[in-house]
Amino acid sequence: MDIFSELESNVQCYARAFPAVFDKAQGALLTDKYGQRYIDFLAGAGSLNYGHNNPVLKRALLNYIEHDGIAHSLDLHTSAKEEFLKTFKTLILEPREMSYHLQFTGPTGANAVEAALKLARKVKGRTNIIAFTNGFHGVTQGALSATGNRHHREGAGIPLQHIIRMPYCGYHGWDVDTLKMMDRQLSDPSSGIDLPSAVIIETIQGEGGLNVAEKKWLQGLSALCRKHDMLLIVDDIQAGCGRSGTFFSFESYDIQPDIITLSKSLSGFGLPMAIVLLKPELDIWQPGEHNGTFRGNNHAFVTATAALKHYWTNSDFEQSIAHKAQLITKAFKSLSARFGVTRLRCKGRGLMQGLECASGEIAEEITQQAFQRGLIVETSGNRGQVVKAFCPLTIEESVLEDGLAILTASVIATLSKCHAQVS
Ligand SMILES: *Cc1c(COP(=O)(O)O)cnc(C)c1O
């Protein structure tokens, strides 16, 4: 029996789908301990937007460690944090005319979500928060309450409360305006809904199956929040940091969320780091009221700063993301046309695109075929039915083409023997 089966908890999951022992990685390529190479369309579930061991980030980190830079600092001020804050202000906030305070939370996405929910409840003095069907916000108790997925929710062991579930954009089909439903329920004094403090939303649902909220809908949601005195929390942990095509996923939507959560690719190097952006007037925290031992991961600050300086000083990076996104769209559209939208439907946008299959079993078969051909790609969606292509944003075009060719071959091999339709 190998040491993983012997000692590691049954809770492991990705390791079951991709049972290799990985050893090295560079860019979009992973190598296992026997030297077998894989193209990585998983990218740490969106934590490796700049690829594995990105040379620019690696150099910055090696220099920092070599000079005895501070590694751990609670929330003490350090030069690494100073440089990150200055860079985030000048390269991200100011050009977008955004004014926010930064709260460094514990280093995982769930930590940032917990802080955001806690702050919203504290500011408004109300318990409920609206979250959406198929939303994913993490698996700690508070974040899990906001998460829709039953498989995850059933692990909670206690009632998951204080969340009101509303239908996401398009949930009841495109001819049903779910905002109108929400507005009506929130406006009716006898609807049975106690006024929430906030709404938490992913503009593109990562784990939920790459469902995209329309611009008009999100603008309407933002207006609805103002109308009913609720804060708008955008959970940009997965869709942010360039994944959707721009640094924040909502940049083209003309909305200004009250609170934004970022994590996954924020450090750029796969190092744990999370922040909550909050409108300055919402910053009513008492010193130390919300804390955490690992809020000062300075190695992550160093690589995050290097990533911002290298990729976000002009629009070149965004243009290259758009170009790669087009290549994926083209490949996926041609597959969807070949098999028909009833069997294969294109989902998502930017470099968070996928193919919706008729069932989770079909999607899984495709990803298993891909793995045998040397491509790592996972599934998402309420029934695991969406094959989710998440390459690093920095992937070379030739590697992207190779990955798409493997995915295409895997789809054709799977669908040629199965004719089930997307519901
Ligand atoms: C991954 C994710 C989280 C949770 O982050 P963890 O680091 O796994 O706790 C929260 N929200 C969204 C949208 C995510 O994709």
The CB of 345 under 6 Å from ligand 1? The reply is no
Query: In terms of pTM, does the model score above 0.85?
Result: yes
Same domain, 90 and 173: yes
Give the CATH number for residue 184.
Answer: 3.40.640.10
What is the per-residue pLDDT for 1? 87
Determine the atom of ligand 1 nearest the C-alpha atom of 113: 10
Same domain, 66 and 189: yes
Which tens digit of pLDDT belongs to each residue from 310-349? 999 999 999 999 999 999 999 999 999 999 999 999 999 9
Which tens digit of pLDDT belongs to each residue from 366-400? 999 999 999 999 999 999 999 999 999 999 999 99
The percentage of residues in the chain with a pLDDT greater than 70, rounded to a whole number, is 100
Same domain, 140 and 194: yes
| Residue 16 pLDDT exceeds 80 | yes
Same domain, 272 and 356: no
Same domain, 39 and 126: no
> What is the whole-number distance in angstroms between the Cα of residue 49 and the centre of ligand 1?
15
Residue among 378, 382, 421 nearest 18 (CA): 378
Same domain, 300 and 386: no
| Residue 145 pLDDT exceeds 90 | yes
* Single residue among 253, 286, 311 that ends a domain in this structure: 311
Q: In what order do the strands lie in the sheet with 378-380?
A: 345-349, 352-356, 386-389, 378-380
**Torsions phi, psi for 221 (to 5 deg):** -65, -40
Please, is 3 exposed, middle or buried when counting C-beta atoms within 10 Å of its C-beta (0-12, 13-18, 19+)?
exposed
The percentage of residues in the chain with a pLDDT greater than 90, rounded to a whole number, is 98
Same domain, 378 and 257: no
Q: How many CA atoms lie within 13 A of 421 on its CB side?
A: 4
Same domain, 216 and 69: yes
Give the CATH number for residue 387.
Answer: 3.90.1150.10
Which tens digit of pLDDT belongs to each residue from 110-142? 999 999 999 999 999 999 999 999 999 999 999
The CB of 390 under 6 Å from ligand 1? The reply is no
What is the per-residue pLDDT for 423? 63
Same domain, 179 and 321: no
Alpha carbons 118 and 145: distance in angstroms, whole number = 13
Domain that residue 357 falls in: 3-54+315-422
| Residue 419 pLDDT exceeds 90 | no
Cα 387 to its chain centre, rounded Å, is 15
* Single residue among 276, 311, 346 that ends a domain in this structure: 311
What does each C-alpha distance from 384 to 175, 355, 366, 380, 387 come to in angstroms?
25, 11, 12, 5, 8
Report the chain's terminal Cα–Cα distance, integer Å.
41
Same domain, 360 and 406: yes
What is the per-residue pLDDT for 153? 97
Same domain, 187 and 75: yes
> What is the whole-number distance in angstroms between the Cα of residue 108 and the centre of ligand 1?
7
Number of domains in the chain: 2
